[in-house]
Amino acid sequence: MDFDTADVTCTVTPGVVEVLERNNRTFVIDGVETILQVVNLRKNFDVTISIPINGSMELVELEFSRCEQVVLCAPEGTEVDVTYSDADCFVCTFDCNDDGTDTDELATFDAQITVRLCQSIQSSFPVTVEFLAEFCEPRDVLPTPCPTPVRPPQCPIVFPDFNGGNGEA
């Protein structure tokens, strides 16, 4: 195969995020014991590697995942949402292992891909908010500071008034 491994690139598309486990842990924050959750996440991605071979671009699509632990206030019953504002990747290393024959099918490669994420992780729970208020009545009509509408001057020469008027209503 004839290509420069420095020209190998990749693109990443984030997939489903799975909450694997959450465990309560006690932390001391500003001198106060607080129970938070250590949440184990599996982030799934689709990565497309672009390999320039003999003037054309070969695309190899791969699925992979990476695991991450985060500390949140996310007790059981809450939903953990991960939103990505940016996802990018680059090929750190790429080694092609060709057996020396002319068939591309027997060639294999080893690649190290790095994925960079900008993310927001939130826990949420549906709540009902109650507002205490007294019965209210419609308010009085507010005085308007706007003048009453005035009909603009007319053009009786262009739009004659056939009712015998002077063109003004």
Give the number of other Cβ atoms within 10 Å of residue 9's Cβ.
15
Least confident of 3-7, 24-28, 69-73, 148-152: 148-152
Strand intervals (E) in the chain: 9-29, 32-53, 56-72, 79-97, 108-124
Report the share of the chain in percent with pLDDT over 90.
43
Least confident of 36-50, 112-126, 140-154: 140-154
pLDDT given for residue 97 in this prediction: 76
In this predicted structure, the answer to whether residue 169 has a pLDDT above a threshold of 50 is: no
Bigger pLDDT: 99 vs 160 = 160
First-to-last alpha carbon distance for the chain, in angstroms, is: 88
List pLDDT tens digits, range 30-71.
Answer: 899 999 999 999 999 999 999 888 788 889 999 989 999 999
Spatial distance between the Cα atoms of 91 and 113, rounded to a whole number of angstroms:
5
Please check whether residue 8 is in contact with residue 84, taking contact to mean a CB–CB distance below 8 angstroms.
no
Bigger pLDDT: 153 vs 94 = 94
Longest dimension (CA), the chain: 103
In this predicted structure, the answer to whether residue 15 has a pLDDT above a threshold of 90 is: yes
